[in-house]
Each structure stands twice: as structure tokens, then as C-alpha cells.
Amino acid sequence: MSRTTLDELVLMVVRDKATKKRSASSSRKSNEDGSGKRKRARVVPSVPDREQVSTPLVRRPKAQVTTVRKEKKRARRAGSSKRSYSRRCSDLPGAVRLWESPLNEELLMKWNQALDRYSEICTKFCEKQRDNAVRGDIESHKEYLTQGGMECIKKEAHERYQNLITRIEVQTSPQLDKHDLSVVRNWKMTRCIWRPTWYESDENKDEKTKQVTKSAFEKINRLKLSRDKDTILRDAIDKLRDLMGVGPAFSCGILALKSRDVAFFSPESIQCCGATLPHKAFNKKRVHSVEAAIILNRILRERAEKLTEYSKSSMRDVRRYWGARDVEYALFSASHGGLRGDGV
């Protein structure tokens, strides 16, 4: 490097320092008033733009972050899929053993015992649910139960539903009006899962309710003799879903009024059949889908056929035709103590 170039670099550094010194002194003078004292800077409050405001990142330990995430997921899932088919049962292991054990004479008698006690167990269960709701001791999936929704949980829900079955089964062209629909709704809310949308079914017009339910019952009448039972059940459920507040589980409860080959979509049956249910159809988001209801009904129908065949060849005097509805009744009864002396 030449001597000239070096001198130029030194000169540039000196000029830069001088410029910085002058700017610093001028800023000090501007902040001083006539008395030589420095003026206090005036703070003007500004309203920040919402888009520019960012909350500071709070770092938590890994274990604490996991716990917070779980709590948020539980809050979002309240009253939905995973909680919906997990409920308090007094004898769920006994019902699971009833479902999973190989069929023999002794087991057939247990199935018959559970079905015979269904009406007794369900009546006690409805009374217990109503008493618990009044006291506030309700199940986790009913934690958002409102005062209006509490009216749906009735002690006489089972008795009214059974009376409706007796009436519908003997009619050649049955149909439901708004009052009948509320009977099924109350039975479902008491026996199964309470939903925050309980009031939507009351908004259906009476004439539309009669037309839709009549058409659905006509479709389900072909179920027993049909080879493609899944398609018929799907068409009937889709028809009933034209009504407000009626989903797959509600639809199964309506169709079970007319056909013993349709089972109600209950949490007890899902928990008992858990090992034989396909995971994809019964995951957290799709557990209450139409496809899940059809698969569960297919599995319960297959078990009903085995029980009927075994009952015909049994050495005992008990001869019974089993339908998918009867299998679900027996599983509900067994889940709540139907195989024990007390029950519920």
C-alpha cells in the first residue's frame, strides 16, 4: 500500500469522528433551555396498531407445556366424541366379558338374563340420571347441562319410549309427530348422551316430521329381507337427517321403534364392541358419523344371528329370536349391573 493511500484512510477516520462529535453536541444543545438545564423529554402516549402488537413469548417447562395442551384439548372436546362414548358404568367389565367370551349354554343364559332385566335396569337408570341431574352430580359429557336441557332428563323416559315402540310396531303405516319426536329425544338424552342442541328438534314443523318419519319407516321395513342392509339403513338415516336436531344416533333411536334389526347407537355398545370396531370409523372425529352407526349395527346384527342360531339348537327350553336392538339392550343392561343381583 502506498503512502498516499494510507494518508487518505487516516483522514477519513478523523473526519468521521469529528462528524459524530458535532452531531452529539448539537443534540445536547437542542435539549437544553435558556438556563442551561437539560429539558425533560416529553412522553407522548401512542396507541399501538393492533397488527403490530405482539404478545411476548412465555417459555414454560416442557412438562408444563404438555399439561396446558392437554387441558386445552379437553376443553375443546367437552361433550364430543371421546367423552361421548366413555361413561360411568357399574359393571362394564362384565358386559365386555359377555361380548368377548365364546358362546356356550351358560353364556346364552347370561345373554337372556341381561335382556330380561333390561326394562328394570333402564327404568332405574333413568330415575338415577334424573336425580343426579337435579343434584348437579352429572356425567362429564353432560357438564354443560342447562336448566332447559335438564327438563329432557326424565324418570319416565324409558316407559314412554317403550309405549311408543308398542304403538309403532302394530301400525301398518306408522309416523311420528312432534310430540313423539320429543319422546324419543328425551329417552336418548336420559339414557345416552345429552347434547347442547337438544332444543333443535322442537323447531321442526309437525307436517314435515310426519312425512319424513313415514318415509324412513317405509325404507326400514325392507331391512329384514334385504341382502344389502347397510344401504337401506344408510338411506333411512339420511332421510331422517332432513329433520333439525336429528343425527345418526337420534335416527337409530327412531328407526329402532319399528325394526328389531336396528340398534340404538349407545356408548355402552361402543365400549363393549371396542375390540371388533375398525379404528378409522370410530376415531375421535368420526365416532358419531353415519358410517360408524352402520358398522356398529352390522356387528350387532351378526351377533344377533349367532345368538338366534344357538338358541334354536340349545338343549334348554329358551327359544328366542334376537335382533340387533335386543343385543344392544342386553349390553346396556349388563353394563349397568344386569348380570348382578342389584343393578345400576
Query: Does a structural domain hold residue 184?
Result: yes
Read off the pTM: 0.71
The stretch 292-304 carries a mean pLDDT of: 93
List % helix, strand, coil for the chain (3-state, nearest 5).
60, 0, 40
pLDDT at position 155 over 70: yes
- Burial-class residue 339 by CB neighbours within 10 Å (0-12, 13-18, 19+): buried
Query: Does a structural domain hold residue 66?
Result: no
pLDDT of residue 339: 87
Please state the domain count of the chain: 1
Q: 315-332, pLDDT tens digit by residue? A: 665 678 999 999 999 999
Higher pLDDT, 155 or 140: 155
Query: Does a structural domain hold residue 319?
Result: yes
Instruction: Quickly state the pLDDT bin for 75 (edges 50, 70, 90).
Output: very low
The stretch 121-150 carries a mean pLDDT of: 68
The answer to which of 60-69, 157-166, 182-191, 335-344 has the lowest mean pLDDT is: 60-69
Query: Does a structural domain hold residue 71?
Result: no
Inter-residue contact 180 to 164 (CB < 8 Å)? yes
Query: Does a structural domain hold residue 249?
Result: yes
Give 286's contacts (C-beta < 8 A, 6+ positions apart): 81, 280, 292
pLDDT of residue 134: 66
pLDDT of residue 131: 76
pLDDT at position 115 over 90: yes
Q: How far apart are CA 259 and CA 237, in angstroms?
A: 13
Closest among 204, 202, 194, 211 to 152, alpha carbons compared: 194
Phi, then psi, of 38 in degrees rounded to 5 = -75, 135
Query: Does a structural domain hold residue 51?
Result: no
Higher pLDDT, 77 or 187: 187
Phi, then psi, of 276 in degrees rounded to 5 = -100, 0
3-state secondary structure of 3: helix
Note the maximum CA span of the chain: 122
pLDDT of residue 179: 93
pLDDT at position 143 over 90: no
Question: 209 vs 98, 216, 240, CA distance in Å?
Answer: 38, 11, 9
CA torsion angle for 188, 191, 194, 199 (degrees, to 10)?
30
Mean predicted lDDT score pLDDT of the chain: 77
3-state secondary structure of 122: helix
Higher pLDDT, 134 or 131: 131
Higher pLDDT, 273 or 327: 327
The stretch 292-312 carries a mean pLDDT of: 92
DSSP 140: G
The answer to which of 10-19, 38-47, 101-110, 302-311 has the lowest mean pLDDT is: 38-47
Q: 219-266, pLDDT tens digit by residue? A: 999 888 888 999 999 999 999 999 998 989 899 999 999 999 999 988
DSSP letter string over 222-263? TTTT-S-HHHHHHHHHHHHTTSTT--HHHHHHHHTTT-TT--
Reading the block at residue 162, the C-alpha cell is 317403550
Reading the block at residue 24, the C-alpha cell is 452529539
Query: Does a structural domain hold residue 38?
Result: no
Question: 3 vs 7, 125, 202, CA distance in Å?
Answer: 6, 104, 99
pLDDT of residue 78: 37
Could you list the residue range(s) of the whole structural domain that residue 176 is in?
78-335
Q: 10-49, pLDDT tens digit by residue? A: 677 667 777 776 666 665 555 554 555 555 555 445 544 5
Query: Does a structural domain hold residue 149?
Result: yes
Q: How far apart are CA 240 and CA 237, in angstroms?
A: 5
